[in-house]
Amino acid sequence: MEKRRFSRVDFTVKALVTAGTTVFRGEVDNLSLHGIFIKTDQRLPLGGTAEITIGLAEVEPEIVIHVTATVARHTPEGIGFEFGKIDVDSFTHLRSIISYRKGDADIVMDEFINYVERKYSE
C-alpha cells in the first residue's frame, strides 16, 4: 500500500550530508516536499538526524537548499530522509523545483496544505 502523500520527482544533483562529525557527499535521486533519497554507500543510524545542503550552482544567483532531516530508511542504493526543519527560502526553492518537475504547482500546494491540516489536527 502506498503511504506517500507527496509527489516525488526525479532530480539529480549533488548533496552534502552532515551528521555530527560524519560528512559526505551523495547524489540526490528523488525528492518531495516531505523527504529526499540520496544515493550513497554511507550509512547513518535509522532515526538519526542530519543536515542536508543542496546547491544549484548552474543558476544565477546560486540557489541553496538547507534542511534538517531524519534517516527514515536504507536501501543498497542509499538513504531515505524525512524532512524536519526547513527555512522559508529553502521551502520555496524546493516547492518550485517539484512544481516545475511535476508540471502542476496546484497539486504540489494541495499536498502541502493537506499535510499541514493533518499535522495540526492530530
28-72 pLDDT, tens digit per residue, is 999 988 899 999 999 999 999 999 999 886 666 778 999 999 999
Chain segment 76-112, per-residue pLDDT in tens: 999 999 999 989 899 888 888 888 887 766 776 777 6
Q: Which residues contact 73 (CB under 8 A, 6 or more apart)?
A: 46, 79, 80
Give helix 105-121 / helix 88-102 axis angle, nearest 10°: 130
What does the alpha-carbon distance between residue 79 and residue 51 come to, in Å, rounded to a whole number?
13
What does the alpha-carbon distance between residue 72 and residue 82 come to, in Å, rounded to a whole number?
6
Q: How confident is the model at residue 94, as a pLDDT?
A: 87
- Spell out the domain ranges in the chain: 8-120
Q: Which CATH superfamily is domain 8-120 in?
A: predicted glycosyltransferase like domains (2.40.10.220)
What does the alpha-carbon distance between residue 28 and residue 80 come to, in Å, rounded to a whole number?
10
